[in-house]
Structure 1
Amino acid sequence: MNPTRRTVLAAALGTALAITACSPGDLGSSDSEGRTTITFLVDNSDASVRPAEGLAEAFMADHPDVVIEVEVRPQGGEGDNVVKTRLSTGDMADMFLYNSGSLLQALKPRETLLPLNDEPFVDRLDETFTPTVSSGDRIFGAPFGAAVGGGVLYNRAVYDRIGLAVPKTWTEFMANNAKIKAAGVAPVVQTYQDTWTSQLWVLADFHNVAAAEPDFADRYTANQTSYATSPAALQGFRHLQEIHDAGYLNADFAAQKYEDGLEELATGKGAHYPILTFVIGTLETNNPGEVDDVGLFAVPGADAAENGLTVWLPGGVYVPTTTEGAELAAVKEFLDFVASPAGCDVQTKAYAPTGPYVVDGCELPADLPRAIQDMLPYFDTDGARTPALEFVSPVKGPALEQITVEVGSGIRSAEDGAALYDRDVAKQAKQLGLPGW
C-alpha cells in the first residue's frame, strides 16, 4: 500500500500498560517500547481526516500502550477501488472507514469483514443505523460522524439582496435561478473535477421520488422499475440537463474541485450548490466569516406539500478478517470509544457536526452553523426526511458519478444517462446475486 499520506499519531506517554479489559497476554505484536500499533484507513476529505486524527489522539491519551496510524486514500471511485483491492489482497489496514448502505454490500462483508454483534457499543446505536452496516443478522460497523443532509446550500446574502424566498418546488427554484443570473451571479455551482459531487441532483432527489412512488425502493430492488422508466426517478437526470441547458452553471464547473465551489458559494459568486452537508466543516475552516451566510434547503420537487430532505446515514468503521490478536483487541476498544458520547464530543470538536449523531447520549452544540440548523427541522417533522436510496436498497451502480458528469455537462441527454445508469445498476445487482436480475 502506498497511501497518498500517512499521519502517525503516537502518544508521548510513559511505560507500556495493558489495554483496558485485555490482559498483557492478549497483546501480541508491539514496537520497541511495548506498544501495539493499529492502522486506520480513511478517505482524504477534511470531514474524515480531522475527526479520525482527533479520535486517535484522544484514545491514545488514555491508552499509552497503543499507537494509531491514520492512513488516507482518495475519495470517489478511485478510493472505492483502493478499498476493494486491499481487501481482496489481504493488505487492508487494521480498520477502515467506508460507506454504509449499498456500497458496503458490494464489499461482500460476510466474506471480508469481522462481525461486531457482541461489542458493547452495538446497544448504543440508533435502530435506523444498524441495518445500514449489516448483512443478514451480522453487524459489521461502528458509526463515524453524524447523519448528513443532501440538498442545496445557498448564499443567504444573495437571496436577501435579490429578495428571493427559499423554493419548495422545482418551478420556484428555476425562477429564482433566472433572477440570480440577471443579477450577475452564477445561479448553480458545480464542481465536476471532483466527480462524486455531480451525483447530488439525482441522489438528493430521492425524497421526492419516494413521495411520488412510495414503493419505488422495493420495486427497484426487485428489478420492477428503473431510473429510465420511472417518471419520478428520471427527474434527477432531467434537473442536471435543464440547469446546464439554461446556462445556469458557474463558468469553471468542469474544472473546479469542491473546495473551490464552496469558496464561490461563500463569497457570493455563486448562489446554489447541491452537495452533502458534511462539507460544512470545510466551509467553516476556509471561510469562517461567511459560514453563516450559507443556508440549506431540500431539493425542490413537484409538490410543495411533499417537500422534504434526503438523508445520508453515517459511514462505518469496519474491521477486515485479516485483523487479529493484539491489533484486534485494540481495534475493538477503539471502536467502543468512537461509538460513545465521549467519541462524539471529540468528533464535534474536530469537525463541525453535519447533523444528528446516531449514538445514544450524543448531543449537538448550540452554536451549529446556519446550514446545519436549517437541516434540523426536517428531522423534527414527520414525513419531512427520507433515507437516501442506497440505505433502503442494496442496488447502486459504480459509474453514476461519471454518467452525471456527462449529463450535467451537456454531453449526454437525461434519458440516455438514466438508461446507461440502469445498465450499470444491472451489472452490480447481478454481481450481488439479487433475485429478479
Structure 2
Amino acid sequence: MRLVTALAAGTLSLALSACSAGSLGSSDDEGGGKTEITFLTNNDPSNVKVAEAVIAAFEAKNTDVDVKLDTRPQGSEGDNLVKTRLATGDMADVFEYNSGSLLQAIAPQTNLTPVTGEAWVGDLDPTFKQVVSAGTDVYGSPWGAIVGGGIFYNKPLYTKLGLQAPKTWAEFMANNAKIKAAGVAPVEQTYSETWTSQILVLADFHNVSAAQPDFAGKYTNNQAKFATTPQALAGFQHLEELKKAGYWNDDYASAKYNEGLNAVAVGKAGHYPMITFGVPALDTAAPDNVNDVGFFALPGDDAAKNGVTLWEPSGIYIPKSTEGGKLTAAKRFQAFIASPEGCAANASAAPVGGPFAVKTCKLPDTVAPAVKDLSAYVDAGAASPALEFLSPIKGPALEQITVEVGSGIRGATDGAKLYDEDVKKQAQQLGIKGW
C-alpha cells in the first residue's frame, strides 16, 4: 500500500476541457448522449467526500460525461484488488493508486496509458512527475497534496501541561511520561487498520537520511540494511520502546484510523503518529476539533537536524484497457483533476493536508494548524523525501511486521531483519541488480 491516500490537486488543460461530446464516440454513449466512465479510489470517508466533490465539479463543466464512483479498501487488500483487476483487464476507466515504489509494482509501461504529451504535465511539481513516471513516460496526475509524516498532537493538552513540540526522541518520551501521569493515553495506535502501524518507521526516514545521506543508494544496491544500520533500526525500536513503556491506548489492537484521529483531536490521546493527509480526514472524524490538532516531525537524536519526511501524492491513472470514447473522457477527467478547478473542488470538500503538487494550484488562505506546522518545516528547508521516493524498493509486508513489533509479539531487531528479507523478495521481483 501506499500511504498516501490523500486528495485532489493539479493543473489546467484548456485543450482537453474543450473536447466536445461528438469526439467521445457513440459506442460509449449513455442515455442523453453521455459517455459513462468509472473512477476507482480508496474508501476512506474523507477521500470519498472529496471524490464526490471533484466528480460533481467535473460533470458540471463536462455535461456530456457521467462519472461513476467506485471504491476499494485501503491497505494490502486494496492493493491486491488493483493488481488483480489490472491483470484481468477489469480495471475502472480511471483509478487512484500509489506513486513511487509501489507504482512500479503494477508495471506501468505494460498496464497504464502514458500522458507525457498532455498540456497539464508541464505544470507538475518535478518531484511528483518523477514518482509517476517509468522510463521516459509520465502516467499520472496528482490525487492530493504533498504531505509530511510525523506526529499529530493535541494542542489544548500541550498548553494545559506546559509542553513544547519536541525536537529529540528523549524530549518526546519525556512529554509522553507527563501525558500518562495526567491520565491520558500518550500515543494512539490503530492496528485494526494495519497500514497505520508503519508511520513510526516510515516517518523516521528524515532522521536516517540526515545521519546517513547515502543510505537510500546503498539500500537500493543491497549494501545497507535496516537491521544493521542503527539509524534505520531506530524506527522499529521506537515501536518496541513505546509499547514496553505502556504508552499505547488500551484498545490499540482494535482501534481504527478515524477513531485514532478523533482521539487525538478531542484529547483522549496526546499523540497520533500519522501523515498529514489525515488533516482532511480530521474534518470527518472530529469536525469541531480540527484546529485543536498540531503537527511536529518525528524527533530523532539530533535537535539541530530535526526535520520532516515528505510524501508525494498518489496518482490518477488510466489503464490501457480504457479505449475509444471512454479514453477521451477519462483523459478529460484526469486533466480536470490536474487543474485549479480540481484543486478548488478538493478544497471545498475537505481541508487540504499540505501544498499542492502543481504550480497553478494554490493553498486556501485558511488552512488547518497542522498544515501550517508542516509548511514551516518545508519553508525552512528542514525536509527530506520518504525512502520510497528515493528507492524503488518497499517491502509489502511492513505493515504486518510493524503490528507485530508494536504489539510486543516480535522484537525490534527481529522485525527489522524480517523486513530486510521482505525487501529482498521485492527487489528480486523488480529485477534490481545486486540482489
Decide: shared fold, TM above 0.5.
yes
Conserved 8 A contact 1:19-1:65: no
Specify whether residues 23 and 369 from structure 1 end up closer, same or farther in structure 2 by C-alpha distance, changes over 3 A only: closer
| Larger RCO (CA within 8 A; separation ≥ 6) | 2
RMSD: 1.3
How far apart in 1 are the matches of 2:17 and 2:343? 21
Greater shift in the superposed pair: 238-247 or 276-285 = 276-285
Per-residue Cα deviation, 1:284-310 (whole angstroms, up to 9, x for no partner): 233232211110000000100000011
Q: How does 1:37-436 map to 2 (within 5 A)?
A: 37-382=36-381, 384-436=382-434
Per-residue Cα deviation, 1:343-396 (whole angstroms, up to 9, x for no partner): 1111111121110001112111121111111111111012x0111111111000
How far apart in 2 are the matches of 1:291 and 1:35? 40
Conserved 8 A contact 1:46-1:281: no
Q: CA deviation at 1:124?
A: 1.1
Q: CA deviation at 1:33?
A: 2.1
Conserved 8 A contact 2:113-2:318: yes
How far apart in 1 are the matches of 2:23 and 2:130? 35
SS class of match (2:427): helix
Q: CA deviation at 1:46?
A: 2.8
Percent identity over paired residues: 55
Conserved 8 A contact 1:341-1:360: no
SS class of match (2:28): coil
Letter in 1 for 2:127: T
For residue 21 of structure 1, what is the aligned residue in structure 2? Answer: 19
Conserved 8 A contact 1:54-1:347: yes
Q: Could you tell me the TM-score, scaled by structure 1's length? A: 0.94
- Alignment size in residue pairs: 419
How far apart in 2 are the matches of 1:311 and 1:293? 22
Conserved 8 A contact 1:22-1:329: no
Per-residue Cα deviation, 1:144-185 (whole angstroms, up to 9, x for no partner): 111111110001111111111110000110111111111111
How far apart in 2 are the matches of 1:25 and 1:297? 49
How far apart in 2 are the matches of 1:173 and 1:428? 34
Q: CA deviation at 1:219?
A: 0.7
SS class of match (1:296): strand
Q: CA deviation at 1:22?
A: 4.6
Q: CA deviation at 1:36?
A: 0.5
Conserved 8 A contact 2:59-2:66: yes
Letter in 2 for 1:312: W
How far apart in 2 are the matches of 1:348 and 1:407? 37
How far apart in 2 are the matches of 1:183 and 1:232? 32
How far apart in 2 are the matches of 1:361 and 1:72? 28
Letter in 1 for 2:399: E
Q: CA deviation at 1:23?
A: 6.6
How far apart in 2 are the matches of 1:287 and 1:22? 42
Per-residue Cα deviation, 1:198-220 (whole angstroms, up to 9, x for no partner): 00000000000000100111111
For residue 12 of structure 2, what is the aligned residue in structure 1? Answer: none
Conserved 8 A contact 2:24-2:35: no
Q: Could you tell me the TM-score, scaled by structure 2's length? A: 0.94
Per-residue Cα deviation, 1:305-346 (whole angstroms, up to 9, x for no partner): 000011110110011110010000011111111111111111
How far apart in 2 are the matches of 1:389 and 1:372? 22
How far apart in 2 are the matches of 1:343 and 1:416? 45
Instruction: Structure 1: give runs of 5+ residues left out of the alignment.
Output: 1-17
Q: CA deviation at 1:25?
A: 5.0
Q: CA deviation at 1:40?
A: 0.5
- Runs of 4+ with deviation above 3 angstroms: none
Conserved 8 A contact 1:19-1:330: no
SS class of match (1:129): helix
Q: CA deviation at 1:136?
A: 1.4
